[in-house]
Amino acid sequence: MDTITIILAVALVAVGGVAVFALGRGGTLRAAADRTNSEIIRMAELIAAGQNDLAGRLATITETSAAAQTALTKTLNERLDAVSKRLGDSLEASSEKSGKTMNDLRERLVKIDVAQKNIAELSSQVVSLQDVLSNKQARGAFGEIQLNDIIVDALPPSAYQFQATLGNNSRCDCLLTLPNPPGAIVIDAKFPLESYRSLRNAENDAERTLATRAFKADMLKHINDIAGKYILPGETAESAFLFLPSEAVYAELHANFTDVVEKSYKARVWIVSPSTLMAVLITIRAVLKDVNMREQAGVIQKEVLSLIEDVGRLEKRVKNLQKHFNSANDDIRDITISTQKITSRAVRIEEVQLEDGDSPAAELEAPPPIEADG
């Protein structure tokens, strides 16, 4: 029971109580009681009508609420399905991305392992190289091997000779056998590594001064040795090459020891590094090709002259053959004329018809004139 119904019931009870109280006081109040009863009846009818209206509204509200609840439930379900789908798609995409990332990570880890192995091997090789360079004999062999590799890659075998002995019994690392000029050129490998290391590792001015003097003295000694041993008038060219198997030493020399470089120019000893030596050898290879072409030019010219003579003889023989062809052509033309005449006479003989009274002898007495051959 709702609040309005309770209020109306209380009002009815109160009116009824008042009516009973009025009846107790006498007949004067009977009319009032009657009016009250009629009011009570009217109010009861209004209450009943209100209850019916309230019941209808409650039913409408219930239906509306049910429809709204159904729509809300449907909307919530659809949104939950959409959210679930999005969540599932996101989880699937995240799973695929995570799997791909893990695969990439594994591949990178494998590459890192390989790189670490290579670094370990390279470290061992560097240690081995340091051991090699710490020994003077091994260091000299290292420079000679590097020189050999560069020359073998750049020049044909006929253009060089390793460990060649000159007329003064001096043995050089490599002798380039070039034609005159310039003639044979000596290349000797030198590697002043100890003095260079002292120069690079100097911690103060005093150590740097001592290392500079030592490096300069080593380089000047190598330059003078090459100029005295490997530049021989009449046997070698007027210059020689000093090969430094280190670009760092070569750069240091040209950057801070220009006086040593100038003295090497005056002694006609050209200092080269692996890169500059390769450039020099490429130029020498071009010169060798040019010399070879010049040597073959005479042979080619002689062959061309012989070819011209052969062409003249061939032309003369072709003319003789042309004469024979012309004579044979005339003979063939005469034979063709004779054949045509014989064919025409055979046709005329075939056309002759022997009739009664005709005398073959008469036919043959006056033959048609025959043209002379030719």
Read off the pLDDT of residues 203-223 as tens digits, 9 standing for 90 and up. Answer: 888 888 898 898 899 899 999
Backbone angles phi, psi at 92, to 5 degrees: -65, -45
Output the six-digit token pair for 314: 């061939």
Among 11-15, 129-133, 273-277, 344-348, whose mean pLDDT is lowest?
129-133
Read off the pLDDT of residues 19-54 as tens digits, 9 standing for 90 and up. Answer: 555 555 555 556 766 777 777 777 777 777 777 777
Kindly give, in sequence order, each residue whose CB lies less than 8 Å from that of residue 140, ignoring residues fewer than 6 positions away: 189, 191
- Closest by CA to 285, choosing from 198, 362, 178, 161, is 178
Average pLDDT, the chain: 78
**352 pLDDT above the threshold of 60:** yes
Q: Could you give the CA distance from residue 301 to residue 356 in angstroms, rounded to a whole number? A: 90
More confident residue, 288 or 240: 240
